[in-house]
Amino acid sequence: MQSEELTLLEVPEPEAIRDWATENGILILAHSYQDGFLQEAAHFVGDSLELARKAASAGADAICFAGVHFMAETAKILCPDARVFVPDMDAGCSLAESCKAEDLIRYQEHLTKKLGKRPVTIAYVNCTAAVKAACDIICTSGNARQVVESVPEDQPILFVPDKHLGGWLNETLGIDMILWDGACEVHELFSVETLNVMKAENPGSIVLSHPECPKPVRDASDHILGTAGMLKMVKAAQGETFLIGTEANLIYRFEKEAPQNTYLPAPGASCACNICPYMALNTPEKLWKCLHERGPEVTVAAEHMEPARRSLQRMLDIV
């Protein structure tokens, strides 16, 4: 017991953690918003869509998901036979929390009466399994346009839970979806005033913002892209300076995969960068412990599994 406790205290290098997980049949997935150590320890790093696809195709018996709770739930829904572990069960998400399934169902009923027909509900993937089960189709920031465009024009659409992503889609597609009043607390912190100061200090820089940012920040940006779209753009660029308007840990991945450019985190209103406090709950120590203890384990209520899987599958069939 003593030596086991000692082993857990002594966290090995990321490569050794990955090798240990491989030998013990555990696939480590890490979101791009995790810090560099956790990204290095993972077998695969990606955004929500990439990790959802990887979870669905990997055929793993056990997955350790370094991300937040709804992402681990998504892996469980797509791989029902796999056990899914998380380093910290408290790693939640303010955006997912802003939309409770019971409130969504009540609002859907209200809109159905008001409109005389049930609206199609599109849920951004940053939501709980119960919300995925209550909606019709899922989207990510990278494929949201295609998903919205797949709905017949005469159908009213309710978009949940992110009002900024929904607002950006309404603006760019010239439509009028009904928006849930949710937001990500990290992206809401970006400030157009401080961004403009930073742009002036870095003439010629290119501003990339996530669609979860508020409209004034989006309007001051050169490109509005999901994380996969940002990665594609920086890989194709040579010697540019990018101001990055999303969670600052993504820069670790950019510097690794496209080191020819310079990356600066766009500032929040009162801090130099924006780090997701929920993602930050996952630490190397907790990852190492989670792998050894095979827990905590994420489960999804039986009644949510199949309807949530259908909503995810509709998205995967489109993109």
Give the integer Cα–Cα distance in Å for 176 and 125. 20
Residue 234: which H helix or E strand, with range? helix 227-236
- Provide the edge-to-edge strand list for the sheet that holds 137-139: 137-139, 120-124, 157-160, 178-179
**One residue of 30, 95, 148, 234 binding ligand SF4 per CB under 6 A:** 95
Binding track, positions 187-226, relative to ligand SF4; x by CB under 6 A? ----------------------------------------
Give the integer Cα–Cα distance in Å for 116 and 97. 29
The residue among 231 and 276 lying less far from ligand SF4, judged by its C-beta, is: 276
Binding track, positions 110-129, relative to ligand SF4; x by CB under 6 A? ----------------x---
88 binds ligand SF4 (CB under 6 A): no
Answer for the pair 14, 41: CB distance below 8 angstroms, yes or no. Answer: yes
On the 0-12 / 13-18 / 19+ scale of CB atoms within 10 A, 46 is buried
68 binds ligand SF4 (CB under 6 A): yes
- Tell me, by CB under 6 A, how many residues bind ligand SF4: 13
Stretch that binds ligand SF4, among 104-112, 219-227, 234-242, 273-281 (CB under 6 A): 273-281
Cis? peptide before 284, omega within 30° of 0: no
Answer for the pair 169, 144: CB distance below 8 angstroms, yes or no. Answer: yes
Give the integer Cα–Cα distance in Å for 164 and 186. 12
247 binds ligand SF4 (CB under 6 A): yes
Closest distance between ligand SF4 and the C-beta of residue 152, in Å?
A: 29
The residue among 51 and 276 lying less far from ligand SF4, judged by its C-beta, is: 276
**One residue of 72, 148, 184, 300 binding ligand SF4 per CB under 6 A:** 184
First to last CA, the chain: 49
Extract the runs of DSSP E, i.e. beta strands, from 48-187: 62-66, 83-85, 120-124, 137-139, 157-160, 178-179
The residue among 119 and 182 lying less far from ligand SF4, judged by its C-beta, is: 182
Closest distance between ligand SF4 and the C-beta of residue 97, in Å?
A: 9
**One residue of 138, 177, 243, 276 binding ligand SF4 per CB under 6 A:** 276
93 binds ligand SF4 (CB under 6 A): yes
Residues contributing to the site for ligand SF4 (CB under 6 A) = 33, 68, 93-95, 126, 184-186, 247, 276, 278-279
